[in-house]
Homo-oligomer: A and B are copies of this chain.
């Protein structure tokens, strides 16, 4: 009997196409022989929007639901007004598919350049809330474009939404050797949302007596990211703070060329979506300079999410070995993909 894996692919814009091609190559190489890989490409992003004015039509949103998971390259192009594709496509997917766990691991691989002196040991994971906070699009503006304009952004937070992501973070912390969970918020200023987060964090914590907990304001957290990143194990935080902290985390662990992420619906009600943290980098699109490693590590997260743990580990070990062997010589996007596919298959 043969199994099959049914993956939706959204290459998107800029370097998206190039890195996704390498991601799929490594995915094929990693899968057990008896698993048939089926992929369906969805033409979404800047070009589609220019051509048709559409970002994510209902029919395609519906079709995407039928897949086991989604692999996304990158969305965004300077020719599209800021916010159109982010809100209309990327965030629409995260919200429609209830991706309430935005999982972003940060690991400083051996031999990887970090801007930090002394190459500290870094191995933590940020569990970013993905469906609430200041990302709900709840806001507006009055007298727009006049000197009397008022614009609001409303951060929405629910016990329902906070509890489920906090619980996921405790589970992850509990399964890691150090068993440490840090809540990051700004509860001395954002007192309503902050107290909700803190109260839920403390309450759920009672069910995980082995997990050591800690709280940091987001401003203080950025300090520790550069002075003491080894203090972190699992971090749970809101949508916006998570966005900011994970770019900083990527920077200190060798750059966004390596940062993977998963937009996960742990219940399985909707397909989860995996994407590199980096953007579409239109300035280097087509030059072969894009590092596909972040996408390939996102493929590892995809595999682990679907239960292919051993295959995920194989990819991560291949990346680790590949990085350890890098000598600074330039390799194209495809060369890196090929090298990793060979290691994974071998």
Where the two chains meet, the residues of A that have a C-beta atom closer than 8 Å to any C-beta of B are 76, 82-83, 86-87, 91, 114-118, 134-135, 137, 139-141, 143-160, 163, 186-196, 198-199, 218-220, 222-223, 225-227, 240, 243-248, 250-252, 255-256
Give me 30 A-to-B residue pairs in the complex whose CB atoms sit less than 8 angstroms apart, sorted by A's number.
Answer: A82-B195, A82-B198, A87-B191, A115-B227, A116-B116, A117-B117, A134-B189, A139-B155, A139-B193, A141-B195, A144-B196, A147-B160, A148-B158, A150-B156, A150-B158, A151-B193, A152-B157, A152-B192, A152-B193, A186-B240, A189-B243, A219-B243, A222-B244, A222-B245, A222-B247, A222-B251, A223-B247, A223-B256, A226-B226, A244-B244
CB-CB under 8 A from A155, the residues of chain B are: 134, 139, 152-155
Does A159 contact B152, Cβ atoms closer than 8 Å?
A: no
Who on chain B is nearest to A83 by CB? B191
* Contact flag A141-B87 (CB < 8 Å), given A187-B82, A223-B256, A226-B252: no
8 tightest CB-CB pairs across the interface, nearest first? A219-B247, A149-B159, A222-B248, A83-B191, A151-B192, A151-B196, A223-B251, A153-B155
Does B158 contact A86, Cβ atoms closer than 8 Å?
A: no
Does B156 contact A154, Cβ atoms closer than 8 Å?
A: no
* Contact flag A82-B159 (CB < 8 Å), given A117-B115, A226-B252, A247-B219: no
- A159's contact among B147, B222, B250, by CB below 8 Å, is which? B147
**Shortest CB distance A218–B (Å):** 6
Does A149 contact B196, Cβ atoms closer than 8 Å?
A: yes
Cα–Cα, bound, A244→B128 (Å): 17
Does A116 contact B226, Cβ atoms closer than 8 Å?
A: yes
Cα–Cα, bound, A137→B193 (Å): 11
Cα–Cα, bound, A244→B225 (Å): 12
Cα–Cα, bound, A195→B153 (Å): 11
Does B220 contact A247, Cβ atoms closer than 8 Å?
A: yes
Who on chain B is nearest to A134 by CB? B190
Does A193 contact B153, Cβ atoms closer than 8 Å?
A: yes
Who on chain B is nearest to A249 by CB? B222
CB-CB under 8 A from A144, the residues of chain B are: 196
Who on chain B is nearest to A191 by CB? B83
CB-CB under 8 A from A141, the residues of chain B are: 192, 195-196
Does A189 contact B248, Cβ atoms closer than 8 Å?
A: no
